[in-house]
Amino acid sequence: MSAALEDDARAESIRMIRDSAAAVAPPGGDLSRIRGLRFKAPGHDPATFRQLGEMGWIGLRVPEAQGGAGLGLGEACALAEELGAALVPEPLIPAMLSASLLAAVGAGPLEALLAGTALPLVAWQERADTLEVPGTPDAPRKFLVNAAAATSFLLPVREADRIALYEQAGGALTLEPTQDGGTFGTLTPDLAGASRIAGDIGEALALALDEAALLTGAYLLGGMERALAMTLDYLKTRSQFGKIIGTFQALQHKAADVKMQIALTRASIEAAAATLDEGATGDLRRATVSRAKARAAESAMVVTRQCIQLHGGIGYTDDYDVGLYLRKAMVMANQYGSATLHRRRFMATSPEGEE
């Protein structure tokens, strides 16, 4: 295939993914399903999670030979963006992280996970704001998204100079509610009752975490786009002082600033997806992901805060949907690394002056 044809085919593939997302992410922006699931365990609908499996999304990045779709990050980011626009609470990104890891080691409940009938969550995180995986055997594992729905936990555990992977069926779990209506779980590991399923997952997990960071940025991007769209609608219909408030230049300029943040985020995410799809590894991969995630985390907060302000009082109500985007940004902006963490990692992995 010529390069141009290849580009066309790729664009078509991404377009198809976006269209298919409508099955779970209603394009009209009806968030009543999302509201109905808030603040009730587990924070999402297991039947819809199964649907993500049936759509082939959980295995989107998994090679075809292992039952996945074998698609690139371009497609995966497009999908995450669509789900972000609709605030889909089913934990696709954590599930894709698990799928990448299990596919890489060729073990564990991969098939059931891809089908959406199992949700093994990777319990990797020992503290806030990190991408490091120390694998301390008995350290509580934190910030497990909607963990009440997990069917098992995948525990990275340090053994000499390697990180092995254990699967733990249940376990002592405490849940804390999150702003978006879901929960963060903390798991106490119980290695005695767990089974060891792989011996060396360090590299595979690092790669999977990078992809999860990028997908989180894409999810946030979708939310920013929708929050701005809602805000523009409001600016075009609300009137005060006998004028549509969107005619006030102070507000026009704020909206224009929001648009620029979103444009930069999109450019950064799409460039990162393309760079990784072209096979970037090592420091280049890390720097590219960090650039995109730092931008997305910061923009998501700037954009959603500003959208509240542009609405006035109604933006400060729980009934009005724009606040749901702020809450989701609060929960996701720092997942898989805050802007500060990613800026620091970018500086460490992207030496200057080599162009």
Partner 1 sequence: MDALRIPAPTELDSLEEEHFRQVVRAFLHENYPEELRNPPKRLHWSENKPWYMTLADKGWLCPGWPKEHGGLGLSPAKQIILTEEYERYGVARTNDHGIVMLGPLVIKYGTEAQQQHFLPKILTGEHIWCQGYSEPGAGSDLAALRCEAVPDGDDYVVNGQKIWTTLATDANWIFLLVRTDKQAKKQEGISFLLVDMKTPGITVRPIINLELHDEFCEVFFDNVRVPKANLVGQLNKGWDMAKALLSFERIFLGSPRQSGYALSRLRILAERMGVFEDAEFQDRYTRLRLELEDLKALYGTFVAKLKRGESLGPDVSMLKIIQTELFQRITDTMLEIAGENAGLLEPMEGNRNLHPTGQFIQARPATIYGGSNEIQRNILSKNVLGLPG
Contacting positions for partner 1 (CB under 8 A):
125, 127-130, 142-143, 176-180, 184, 240-242, 248, 250-251, 301, 305, 308-309, 312-313, 315-319, 323, 326-327, 330-335, 338-340
What is the Cα–Cα distance from 293 to 287, expressed in whole angstroms?
A: 10
Is 93 a binding residue for ligand FAD by CB under 6 A? The answer is no
Closest CA to 188 of 203, 171, 201: 171
List Cβ neighbours of 264 (8 Å cut-off, separation of 6 or more).
295, 299
| Contacting range for ligand FAD; rule: CB under 6 A; set: 19-27, 41-49, 304-312, 332-340 | 304-312
331 binds, among ligand FAD, partner 1, none (CB under 5 to 8 A by kind): partner 1
Binding window for ligand FAD (CB under 6 A); candidates: 23-31, 120-128, 237-245, 294-302: 237-245
Q: Which of 232, 248, 277, 280 forms a contact with ligand FAD (CB under 6 A)?
A: 248
Tokens at 74, concatenated: 């371009």
CA dist 213 and 93 (Å) reads 9
Give me 2's structure tokens.
């010529």
Query: Does 247 engage in binding with ligand FAD (CB under 6 A)?
Result: no
Nearer to ligand FAD, 168 or 306 (CB): 306
Residue 95 as a binder of ligand FAD (CB under 6 A): the answer is: no
CB of 24 or CB of 310, closer to ligand FAD: 310
Residues 269 and 128: their CA atoms lie apart, in Å, by: 24
For residue 120, CA distances in Å to 33, 44, 110, 169, 184 come to 24, 15, 9, 9, 15
Q: Which does 289 bind (CB under 5 to 8 A by kind): ligand FAD, partner 1, none?
A: none
CB 167 within 8 A of CB 195: yes
Task: Confirm or reject binding of residue 318 to ligand FAD (CB under 6 A).
Answer: no
Taking the least distance from each CB to ligand FAD, the nearer of 209 and 235 is: 235
Q: Report in angstroms how near the CB of residue 335 gets to partner 1 at its nearest.
A: 6
Amino acid identity for residue 325 in this structure: Y
Which residue in the set 8, 316, 318, 348 belongs to the binding site for ligand FAD (CB under 6 A)?
316
Least distance to partner 1, CB of residue 255, Å: 12
**Smallest distance from partner 1 to CB 240, Å:** 4
**CB-nearer residue toward partner 1: 78 or 95:** 95
Residue 129 DSSP code? S
Three-class DSSP category at 354: coil
CB of 318 to ligand FAD, least distance (A): 12
174/317 with CB nearer ligand FAD = 317
Distances (CA, A) of 142 to 25, 148, 155: 28, 13, 12
The only residue of 240, 278, 279, 353 in contact with ligand FAD, by rule CB under 6 A: 240
* CA–CA gap between residue 209 and residue 263 (Å, rounded): 25
For ligand FAD, the closer of residues 134 and 320 by Cβ is: 320
For residue 333, the partner it binds in ligand FAD, partner 1, none, with Cβ less than 5 to 8 A by kind, is partner 1
Nearest to ligand FAD of 171, 315 (CB atom) = 315
C-alpha–C-alpha distance, residues 332 and 334, integer Å: 6
Angle at 221 between CA 217 and CA 223, to 5 degrees: 120
Q: Give the span between the Cα atoms of 300 and 220, in whole angstroms.
A: 6
**DSSP for residue 108:** S
Q: Which amino acid is at 288?
A: T
List of residues contacting ligand FAD (CB under 6 A): 238, 240-241, 245, 248, 250-251, 309-310, 312-313, 316
